[in-house]
Chain A
Amino acid sequence: MGVLLLDQGAGSDLLFDLEPDLDQSPARRTLLSQIAQLERSLSAAACEAFPDRLDLEQVPARGPRVQNLGELELLRDHLIGSLREARTTLAARESERAAARELLEQMLLDPAKHRRVRISQRDLGVGGCGVWSVMPRLGPMGRLMGWWRVKLSSGCPLAT
């Protein structure tokens, strides 16, 4: 019975208060297992986001202790919210990167149509500090003649 209540959100501890003879342990085991699984999923999301950070809402924490059923449910629900937020953030970021990759392809196909456009490696989701940009070949001469090309800068600036 306790397990059925888990999907109804926080508050099933109230029922156990009313029915003190009910065994909480199956519900607690299920919640602990769900919390562990959610933590693993959040860890995977944090690694996927690297080198960016996932700024998720933090859980108010006290010292370590065995939590009651209501606290476990609230924590589980909080982690579900955090995971949803993480996945939304990652999906939005991937969509931006896909758009940047497509723009880069267009730049490479037709540089003259994308004059002065710049895309950083970070926008593409690639490590490093390089920037792809459309530049005129041979400076002012290339600009006048319409000789455009895509160039990748050499990387991170030197430390000062």
Chain B
Amino acid sequence: MVEAEFPDLRADWLGCACADHRCDRGVGERLALLASRLNGRQALELRQQQVPAAYRSFFRQVGLDPDQQLTPIEQAVLGRLFSGGNLPQDRISDALLLALLETSVPVFAFDAKSISPPIEIRGAGLDEGIGGVALEPGALILADSQRPLCQLFSPPQPPLAAGAASDQLLLVAILVPGVSAIVGDEALTIAAEAISGG
């Protein structure tokens, strides 16, 4: 049903290694550079650019109000405005933020050992849940070949989420209708290179 309604909605994924979890200086500098280019008007006008606009439209179409539950890119940009900068956290979070700010495509990191690709976006079935919490039937979820991983656009939770002990990651980009595959590839490549130090 999801495929019939949104044929261009998809999840692309890419594996990468993470040997060092400390913040990368180069990534920190790129985040600082991106932060320095931003002001309030730009943050608002972002919603008129092609990729962020596609995410806002998709949010509406699946029953979310993008003014209440912000799209990932708008959340990141508002976070930057409120905190005064893109403050470094850890290598994985910094890499995901960098990919998001560069491409407007959200990328999530999973511990590769806990995930069985292929990854798909589908509606939750009856009696399905995540971490013991039941899902509303039909809720859009990210799932691997065995189980639901997280609700669409919600960050994954441990033990599925990549953490300080994860050395092999699976990066997943969510692409909505109107966003081309090449932008998703770019987001995954930026995140993977920032994590593996390539």
Q: A residues bordering B, Cβ < 8 Å?
A: 25, 28, 32, 35-36, 38-40, 43-44, 46-47, 50-51, 56, 58-59, 61-67, 71, 75, 79
Contact = CB atoms under 8 A, between A and B. Distances in A.
A63 B65 contact: no
Interface of B: 1-2, 4-5, 40-41, 44-45, 47-48, 53, 56-57, 59-69, 123, 136, 138-140, 151-153
Majority SS at the chain A contact face = helix
A40 B57 contact: yes
B63 A71 contact: yes
A35 B53 CA distance: 12
A40 B53 contact: yes
B140 to A, nearest CB: 4
B56 A39 contact: yes
B48 A64 contact: no
Given A36-B57, A47-B44, A67 B4 contact: no
B44 A46 contact: yes
Contact of A47 (B1, B48, B64, B138): B48
A38 B69 CA distance: 18
Contacts of B69: 61
Given A39-B57, A47-B47, A47-B48, A67 B65 contact: no
Contacts of B66: 39
